[in-house]
Amino acid sequence: MIARSVEIDDELHLRPLPTADAAEACRRAQARVWIDLEAFEPAELEGWLDALAIGGLARRLCLESLDRPGFYPLKNEIVLVIPLLVDEEDSSGPDFAAFVCRENLLLTLHRQPLPQLADLEDSESRLSDRSIAALVSAALIDVSVAALRRTESLRHSVRALEERMDREPDTVEAEEILDTRAELLELASVVADQLPVLRALGATDTSVLRLAGASVFMNCARVNLQAADSALGSLDARVGVLRSGFQMHAQEKTNRRLGMLTILSAVFMPITLLAGIWGMNFEVMPELKHPFAYPLALGFMAAVGSGMYFFFRRTGWFD
């Protein structure tokens, strides 16, 4: 398990706090502590929950709900679970993170390293006040910005595929389009699961988590996710057009090949007919006794084949 803890000081800086002292620090009325737990085992998590006096439904949610999004306003805590993006090279899919919010504590739980939950730089300029609500809002802004950045990266990938499809369609592979669509669907699923939770959180203002002072930051996070969601819908339509264009191009290539085979069959069909006629074993066939019958037959067949080839070429069948 990797445990990190910081405390918001009076200048709105995130001051490192020894993890051994974090649970004790949370008991101070004026404390504002953030504890982040990563890659934990169930027994290790239970130990932290005991130390922080998190019980009841909040405890069960921390132990059992890290695989689905949700928003749970409880009497002593507010618990929200959202999917977060992992590194683009990681193909294991999104990871879920839980936020357990109290007036003086933010506990975040996740199994994989999540850059969105790294320590906030320049925290004094990003926190609206010295509160857990401000800290949650700032963290969720990072979450929304990560979604926007991944959406912009995906937009560039789609644009590059569109340009290649227009200029060099033969260089576009079906796997590229399928991989791009899979990445788009995964990102769209994450954003679609994040949005309802942020909307519900933005409409909540209780003694456990007072969002009045951080409402601007919360609105910013929500607007960023709405922008990403809208852009992903547009990109999905563009990828659909790409797939249609790729299929049309592949069908066109197949049709050209079939057309070439048809032309070759048409060219050799009369030659095959002549060869079949002259290959019959009748006793009375005047051509068989002609001294120049063989070269004349070959020349005639070559002339017929060449004539049909030039006819098809002149009428545009090879274009």
Strands annotated E in 49-205: 70-73, 78-84, 95-101, 105-110
* C-alpha 23 chain-centroid distance: 38
Is-contact 12 34, C-beta < 8 A? no
Q: Which two tokens stand for residue 109?
A: 């739980």
Sorted by sequence, the CB contacts under 8 Å of residue 261 that are 6+ apart come out as none
Calpha distance 318→261 (Å, rounded): 11
Sorted by sequence, the CB contacts under 8 Å of residue 164 that are 6+ apart come out as 171, 172
pLDDT number for residue 121: 54
| Beta carbons within 10 angstroms of residue 233's beta carbon | 11
Calpha distance 155→235 (Å, rounded): 7
pLDDT number for residue 150: 92
Alpha carbon distances (Å) from 18 to 22, 39, 51, 112: 6, 19, 15, 22
Strands annotated E in the chain: 2-8, 14-16, 33-38, 70-73, 78-84, 95-101, 105-110
| Crossing angle of helices 174-202 and 132-167, rounded to 10° | 160
pLDDT number for residue 117: 58
pLDDT number for residue 196: 92
Q: Which fold has domain 2-248?
A: Beta Polymerase; domain 2 (3.30.460)
End-to-end CA distance of the chain: 66
pLDDT number for residue 114: 67
Tell me which DSSP letter residue 286 carries.
Answer: G
Calpha distance 214→135 (Å, rounded): 9
Sheet order of strands, 70-73 included: 14-16, 2-8, 33-38, 105-110, 95-101, 78-84, 70-73
pLDDT number for residue 14: 83
Q: Which residue has the tokens 């274009």?
A: 319
Full pLDDT tens readout for the chain, 319 residues: 888 888 888 888 888 888 888 888 888 888 889 998 988 898 999 998 998 888 888 899 888 888 889 999 888 889 999 998 876 655 556 788 999 988 888 999 988 776 655 555 556 667 778 888 888 888 888 889 889 999 999 999 999 998 988 888 888 888 888 999 988 999 999 999 999 998 888 887 777 777 777 788 888 889 999 999 999 999 999 999 888 888 888 887 787 778 778 888 888 888 888 888 888 777 777 777 778 888 888 888 888 888 888 887 787 776 6
